[in-house]
């Protein structure tokens, strides 16, 4: 009976689309991200400071320039941005080879804390808004570094990871405050995306 075969096929498609990663697979992702954090930190330190060097506390606090609003930009901020980019590219390459439909890098989720409503914004729409100068449409968006989700379903979040690059390296890890919501980013990820614990990933610390 052809309709039975079609129904069974459709059921298999739904199950596949909603599949989450196994615990061991999520753990593997954490290991990959920790390796990427270590790689990024070493590569950028070597490039900016010299082979095998790490920034001192004084170097981290040095003001390198001012932004468009006149706010100081420290060496720690510059190094952190560069390391983030290297780590994300590392994550993209490695995760795409293993779990191509289960991850998103820097996805945007619009979050209304008053109502608890969350909306995933497709990356092509984010690009369009930014290109057209419609920055206000992304006001309050949550943008984790790495999100694991059901296969092909970024709205069904399974785990969240954020890279952190303390400067100097011995500084304790802590979540930054979201500029719009005024709360720790990790706390917001947990509330908005329905996960038990958002995780920090840092060189020397691994996944926390």
The domain spans of the chain are 22-207
Q: What is the pLDDT of residues 149-198, one digit of tens each?
A: 999 999 999 999 999 999 999 899 999 999 999 999 999 999 999 999 99
- Specify the pLDDT at position 69: 85
Q: Which strand (E) or helix (H) includes residue 39?
A: helix 23-49
| Of residues 56, 32, 35, 34, the one with CA closest to residue 45 | 56
Q: Is the pLDDT of residue 7 over 70?
A: no
| Of residues 78, 205, 199, 65, the one with CA closest to residue 144 | 199
The verdict on pTM exceeding 0.85 is yes
Q: What is the pLDDT of residues 62-118, one digit of tens each?
A: 999 998 888 999 999 999 999 999 999 999 999 999 999 999 999 999 999 999 999
Q: Which strand (E) or helix (H) includes residue 117?
A: strand 117-121
Whether the Cβ atoms of residue 119 and residue 110 lie closer than 8 Å to each other: yes
Q: Is the pLDDT of residue 136 over 80?
A: yes
Q: Is the pLDDT of residue 4 over 60?
A: no
């Amino acid at each position: 009976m052809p309709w039975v075969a079609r129904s069974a096929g459709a059921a298999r498609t739904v199950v596949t689309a909603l599949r989450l990663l196994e615990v061991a697979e999520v753990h593997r992702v954490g290991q990959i991200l920790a390796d990427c954090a270590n790689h990024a930190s070493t590569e950028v330190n070597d490039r900016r400071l010299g082979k095998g060097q790490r920034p001192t506390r004084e170097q981290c606090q040095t003001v390198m320039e001012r932004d468009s609003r006149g706010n100081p930009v420290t060496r720690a901020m510059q190094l952190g941005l560069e390391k983030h980019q290297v780590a994300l590219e590392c994550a993209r390459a490695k995760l795409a080879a293993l779990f191509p439909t289960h991850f998103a890098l820097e996805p945007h989720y619009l979050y209304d804390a008053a109502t608890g409503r969350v909306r995933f914004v497709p990356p092509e729409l984010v690009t369009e808004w930014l290109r057209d100068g419609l920055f206000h449409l992304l006001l309050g968006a949550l943008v984790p570094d790495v999100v694991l989700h059901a296969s092909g379903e970024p709205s069904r979040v399974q785990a969240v990871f954020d890279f952190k690059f303390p400067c100097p390296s011995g500084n304790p890890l802590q979540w930054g405050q979201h500029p719009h919501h005024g709360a720790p980013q990790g706390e917001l990820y947990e509330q908005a995306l329905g996960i038990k614990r958002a995780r920090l990933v840092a060189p020397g610390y691994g996944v926390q």
